Amino acid sequence: MTEYTVEFIGTGEAITVSDKETILSRCIEEGIAQEYSCRVGMCLACSAKIESGEVTQPAARGLTDEEAESYALTCMARPQSDLELDRGKYPPSIETDAAAGDAAADD
């Protein structure tokens, strides 16, 4: 088991996460207020932009392959290196879906 440091940009928070656990599970254990909902990689509530480092998240079905290179779903993501994450940043697909929903509501 290897442990990595996960730093959250703009918060001053950092945690140590093993490559065998998810970032979200460690956040919960450490009392870090990480947003989440479904915990199965679908809702995207726990998204964070990967500013540096790498994760593995094969079960993150809510992300396209391209998005999975730049965004972590903390409920599924396991670190593969030290990380810097920007929480509350959502992939383009969720922003597009939200805008489409807003446009439909305006009709």
* Residue-level pLDDT at 95: 61
Tokens of 100: 């489409």
- Stronger pLDDT, 79 or 68, i.e. the higher one: 79
Q: Provide the domain count of the chain.
A: 1
pLDDT score of 104: 43
pLDDT at 98: 46
**Average pLDDT score over the chain:** 87
> ∠ CA 36-39-42 to the nearest 5 degrees?
95
pTM of the model: 0.84
Nearest to 53 by CA among 26, 76, 73, 80: 80
| pLDDT number for residue 94 | 74
Q: What is the pLDDT of residues 10-25, one digit of tens each?
A: 999 999 999 999 999 9
CATH of the domain at 37: 3.10.20.30
Q: Report the DSSP beta bridge partners of residue 52.
A: 84
Nearest CA to 22 out of 70, 99, 85, 89 is that of: 85
Range of the domain at 90: 3-106
